[in-house]
Amino acid sequence: MLVRVSSWDVLKVENGQEFPVPDISTIQASARRRLNLFGRNAGALAANKIDTSPLIVFASRYGDVERSVAILEQISSGEDISPMNFSLSVHNAVSGLLSIAWKMTEMQSVVAAGSDTFIMGFTEALSLLNAFPKQDVLLVYIDFPLPAVFSEFEEIAGGSEVFTALLSADMNMDEGVVINCEKTETTDSRSARPMQAIESLLSGTIEKVIVETDSFGWGVSKYVA
């Protein structure tokens, strides 16, 4: 399957480093006030990819875990739960809030699949392109590390990652990079960081990569006509 990645952005922050302040001026003030660092970074990297009213795939292993932990702390201390934290802790809350702010009415998919979240989000985006080839698909992947209280459950140690990419089945454009995606069987070369592998492919560092789950994978390579 040929896919054009017309634009993409990546933000990686290692543990202990501070996030840069994201520019979210394109988001309505009423929505900005409800977004914390998690939502602001998702919105900042997606904001320049919404002009074609794409379908949206929002993928996150933990979601807005900061809000979820705040709710648990309020419960354990006998405090009343913050209504805003409760409503925005739902896994699709950030994508819903951003789509409302941007007046987007197209379909959204929200993916949470453990350590396979990026790959399953990527798979969902390819599936939507296959089903709706005339529409672009915006893939948003974002994950922050678990807070210290849950750190023992962290499967892969690392920092925070945000990845956004606008995918298209239109091969008549000049922008971006065209990739060829082929389903593969599992191998012994599974990448521990599939997002970084795809980023390296798009940036030209490597020409081909295999990203896979326990049951299937994608062989992704740059396509040259």
Single out the residue of 130, 149, 158 nearest to residue 61, CA to CA.
Answer: 158
Question: Residue 37: pLDDT above 90?
Answer: no
Answer whether residue 87 shows pLDDT above 70. yes
Helices (H) and strands (E) in the chain, counts: 7, 8
Domain coordinates of the chain in residue numbers?
7-172
Pick the CATH number of 7-172 from 3.40.47.10, 3.40.605.10, 2.60.40.420, 3.40.50.970: 3.40.47.10
β-pairing, 137-143 with 55-59?
parallel
Most confident of 16-30, 65-79, 109-123: 109-123
| pLDDT tens digits, one per residue of 61-85 | 989 988 888 898 889 988 888 888 8
pLDDT for 190 equals 60
Is residue 7 within 8 Å of residue 49, measured between CB atoms? Answer: yes
Alpha helices (H) along the chain: 29-32, 37-46, 65-76, 83-88, 93-101, 117-131, 194-203
**Residue 10 pLDDT more than 90?**
yes
